[in-house]
Structure 1
Amino acid sequence: MRFDELKLEDDVLDGLDAMNFIETTPIQELTIPVILEGHDLIACAQTGTGKTAAFVLPIINELSKNQHPDHAVNAIIMAPTRELAQQIDQQIEGFTYFIPVSAVAVYGGTDGVTWEQQKRGLEMGADIVIATPGRLLSHIKLGTVDLSQVSFFVLDEADRMLDMGFYDDIMQVYKQLPASCQVIMFSATMPPKIRTLAKTILKNPEEIKIAISRPPESIMQTAYICYDMQKLPILEDLFSQSKPKRVIIFSSSKLKVKELASTLKRMKFNVAAMHSDLEQAQREEVMKEFKNGRIDILVATDVVSRGIDINDITLVVNFDIPHDPEDYVHRIGRTARGTDGAGVAITFVSVEEQAQFKRIEDFLEKEVYKIPIDTKFGEVPLYEPEKYRQFRKKGSHSRTTKRPAGQKNNPSNKNKTGKPQKKA
């Protein structure tokens, strides 16, 4: 469907035309009419499906009609991270080029000057406030924002906000809103806790679900089955064979990110770390340097796996297995966004992580190709996720069978049907 087939105002369509937005994505086609009709909504859609425009455009459209109060906050969009809040703010800036609709992004990790700018924007009544939960709650407690006239309340990546422990913050903000406020929820997954939240804050909602996205076939997915101590030597050897350029390495914790980045620096690689301990200005500077090509390797926690669009990433490395299969999809989805649409993802799988990695393969409905490991790295474990899962349940740490390095890690290479499995 084309955007001009939707019931959008001419000024909104002019902005879309200027940005070369012609065709809607499936989530936009399904959700924009529902929001325009004033219904509460719960939508299940992944990052990369165009969901930001799906809720931003109808809100901007309604505000452009000048039927909402001036100098008042008319819409609240809550996001789990400052990076996502900034990205939403940037999209709104583009969409409102021909429309007198104002917006302010409110998030933590800033200096006093930025705090004052955010405070001033709230007190003057920006039409749209894009905020992280904790920072918005701080302004509510200080009395610097009035939510009594809000007409639209959006929760973006609601599942991630609940995972980060923001349920109470969300409810405190919700209680400040008028009963007539239209509530819109977007979530990448639909676990029971999201269903419970929806029942609590939504009124007779419409529900829209786009099929869970899986990585594009253009991403070559591979894995090394190894011991934890072998990960770094294999990675160093990989980078010595081919100079790293435009690479993101994901690790599971801030501490591991710091340690890995420091180790790679000592190996003379051009690397920077990205994690939540950095001040906002530092994080923005790191992203700027990486985007400009002055940093070759970005070592990061999952703080950058969602909501940040960086083109021409050649390689994504999962140094540790992500917590959820969906996080795996978000991580490796940072690649294959360049002009050729191709990318490579490599995942290191230690013995302790095999069961988690099998969950990812089950989610993908395919077997990820296991790269044979050179014998110079010593013996490597068999890929036996079911066996290891049983050991974990019994609380045992039984020795895992070894095989000579270089021998294929999955000797049967068959799927559940017994037929040969294609390489990923």
Structure 2
Amino acid sequence: MTTFKNLNLKPALVQGLQELKYTTPTPIQADAIPLLLQGHDVVGQAETGSGKTAAYGLPLLNKVDPEQQQVQALVIVPTRELAVQVRQELKLFAKLITPNLKISAFYGGHAFSQERASLAHPPQVLVGTPGRLTDHLNRRTLELTNTALIVLDEADKLLEMGFQEELDQILGALPRKKQTVLFSATMPDEVKELIANSLKNPTFVKASANAIPDKVRLVGVKVDHNERQPVVTSLLKSIPYAGTVVFCNTRAEADKLAAHLQAQGLAAKPLHGGMEQPDRDKTMTLFRNKTTAILVATDLAARGLDIAALTTIVHYELPDDAAAYLHRSGRTGRAGKSGMVYTLASSRDEQQLRDWEQVRMDEWLSAKNIKETDAKPPVKSAPAFATIHISGGRKDKISPRDIVGALIAEAGLKADQIGKIEVQDRQSFVAVPEEQVTAIVTKLSSCKIKGRKYKVNLVA
């Protein structure tokens, strides 16, 4: 059996993977990593949940030189959320290589001036969206002449979103001698043309055709179209709903359903492309912190939802095709964990699901029998944690350890009472016990963290 130990990765990378409890590579990782380490161009067809970020990320980190302060590897992704997600995952894998390794994410909605300033000491690894990367190229703030490896992640979505011109410009700014990697869930003609124009004699690897892991259970809920709102409310109240994403097809429907669920006492928030980037970032933070239990999301906004907090998927509306359904459903059941997928289906939707041969359904329920069939105790509406915002971050030399120290010394918390901490460039978020949040905000507002006072407030 293949293990990460015998894939010829640097010992520090293997050690980091062991600490993360990663021992056995997924099929796409076992196939792609040796090829990439040998320098081949690679095309991978892989759905969400197949482990593709590690499949290209580990060889990428294995190759970069921490002592060379230049952009050596570039990862292009379609959305802001995915840029943040990929950066976080690469940083997790790289933490034991060297403290000098810099991994940055450039994307719209993020201060351009901060990105430009950071390029005074360029990252070795840069993850970015096409629009922001071409913005830097046009302003001559980004130099890619020493980039030896380029990754096009979710190529089908990059082209679907109309980034062909931006990709052409970015690829034209790269040296002719480079290694190119392309991953895509599907292979439409546009992606095949991109492969033909951008890769040299690539080797093709493919994940298992079954995009939904075996440990994920899929349940269909038969419902009249006009009864979806009360049915999804009853469904959520009958299951442990913390870590649930409910998928809608439009921004308007996501807003409408989130408002309805909030009115029913459920900790839900919308997530879609019509929201300002800071609001999207805040919503994602609250979900990772488990302050928000339910996200009501559109497909585009959910592209970066590869997080441990996600346990349950609900298809409130059926997407247009089987690929989108599999992509949504594959957001749960990661890394061998179990997961649940519920699909609200009218009689027409039910027929559509049966027509999608690659989609399985383990069980069908009638909406009127939900409570009797699913007798798991509901999670209380109010989450155990509340999230506080601190107006300082990495650029202010604040680390998670500093925040933990302040919470213990000033607010009297114990280490096991402190939830997830996220330290960003100029702000930080931390989950704390909800019943103590007012006192905690007051105490942290009056004390110093790393020798300075910062504004502290509750994130609503």
Question: TM class, shorter-chain normalised?
Answer: 0.7 to 0.9
Equivalent residue letter for 1:74: Q
| More divergent stretch after superposition (37-46 vs 197-206) | 37-46
2:62 aligns with: 61
1:42 aligns with: 43
Q: Is the 8 A contact 2:47 2:211 kept in 1?
A: no
1:168 aligns with: 165
Q: Distance in 2 between matches of 1:312 and 1:65?
A: 32
Equivalent residue letter for 2:167: I
Q: Given the alignment of the two structures, is residue 329 of structure 1 paired with residue 316 of structure 2, yes or no? A: no
Equivalent residue letter for 1:363: Q
State how 1:375-414 maps to structure 2 within 5 Å.
none
2:83 aligns with: 85
State how 1:237-386 maps to structure 2 within 5 Å.
237-239=234-236, 241=238, 244-311=241-308, 313-337=310-334, 341-350=337-346, 353=349, 356-360=352-356, 362-364=357-359, 366-367=360-361, 369-374=363-368
Q: Distance in 1 between matches of 2:341 and 2:274?
A: 26
Q: Distance in 2 between matches of 1:54 and 1:263?
A: 40
Q: Distance in 2 between matches of 1:197 and 1:181?
A: 16
2:32 aligns with: 31
User: The residue matched to 2:104 in structure 1 has which SS?
Assistant: strand
Q: Distance in 2 between matches of 1:313 and 1:60?
A: 27
1:157 aligns with: 154
Query: Kindly tell me: are residues 131 and 45 of structure 1, through their superposed partners in 2, closer, same or farther at Cα, counting changes over 3 Å?
Result: same
User: Which deviations, in whole Å up to 9, do the C-alpha atoms of 1:132-186 show, x marking residues without a partner?
Assistant: 1111111111111011221111101111211222122111111111111211101
Q: Is the 8 A contact 1:222 1:345 kept in 2?
A: yes
Q: Distance in 1 between matches of 2:3 and 2:305?
A: 26
Q: Distance in 1 between matches of 2:157 and 2:184?
A: 8
Q: Distance in 1 between matches of 2:20 and 2:223?
A: 47
Pairwise CA RMSD: 2.5
Deviation at 1:291, TM superposition (A): 2.6
**Structure 2: any 5+ residue segments left out of the alignment?**
370-460
User: Which deviations, in whole Å up to 9, do the C-alpha atoms of 1:180-235 show, x marking residues without a partner?
Assistant: 12111011122222111100111111111122233233333222344321211322
Calculate percent identity across the aligned residue pairs. Answer: 32
User: The residue matched to 2:119 in structure 1 has which SS?
Assistant: helix
Query: Kindly tell me: are residues 79 and 323 of structure 1, through their superposed partners in 2, closer, same or farther at Cα, counting changes over 3 Å?
Result: same
User: Which deviations, in whole Å up to 9, do the C-alpha atoms of 1:288-312 show, x marking residues without a partner?
Assistant: 2223332232111113544423335
Deviation at 1:122, TM superposition (A): 3.0
1:197 aligns with: 194
Q: Distance in 2 between matches of 1:280 and 1:242?
A: 31
User: The residue matched to 1:321 in structure 2 has which SS?
Assistant: coil
Q: Distance in 1 between matches of 2:241 and 2:55?
A: 36
Equivalent residue letter for 2:3: R
Q: Is the 8 A contact 2:218 2:361 kept in 1?
A: no
User: The residue matched to 1:302 in structure 2 has which SS?
Assistant: coil
Q: Is the 8 A contact 1:32 1:57 kept in 2?
A: yes
User: Which deviations, in whole Å up to 9, do the C-alpha atoms of 1:278-336 show, x marking residues without a partner?
Assistant: 22322222122223332232111113544423335453211111233222223223334
2:446 aligns with: none
Q: Is the 8 A contact 1:249 1:300 kept in 2?
A: yes
Deviation at 1:119, TM superposition (A): 1.6
Q: Distance in 2 between matches of 1:205 and 1:222?
A: 39
User: The residue matched to 1:363 in structure 2 has which SS?
Assistant: coil
Q: Distance in 1 between matches of 2:277 and 2:70?
A: 28
Deviation at 1:65, TM superposition (A): 7.9
Give the 4+ runs in structure 1 shifted more than 6 A. none
1:4 aligns with: 5
Query: Kindly tell me: are residues 259 and 205 of structure 1, through their superposed partners in 2, closer, same or farther at Cα, counting changes over 3 Å?
Result: same
1:422 aligns with: none
Deviation at 1:356, TM superposition (A): 4.1
State how 1:169-188 maps to structure 2 within 5 Å.
169-188=166-185
Q: Is the 8 A contact 1:257 1:273 kept in 2?
A: yes
Q: Distance in 2 between matches of 1:151 and 1:337?
A: 31
Deviation at 1:241, TM superposition (A): 4.9
Equivalent residue letter for 2:103: A
Count of residues in Structure 1 that have an aligned counterpart in Structure 2: 366
Q: Distance in 2 between matches of 1:359 and 1:118?
A: 47
For normalisation by structure 2, the TM-score amounts to: 0.73
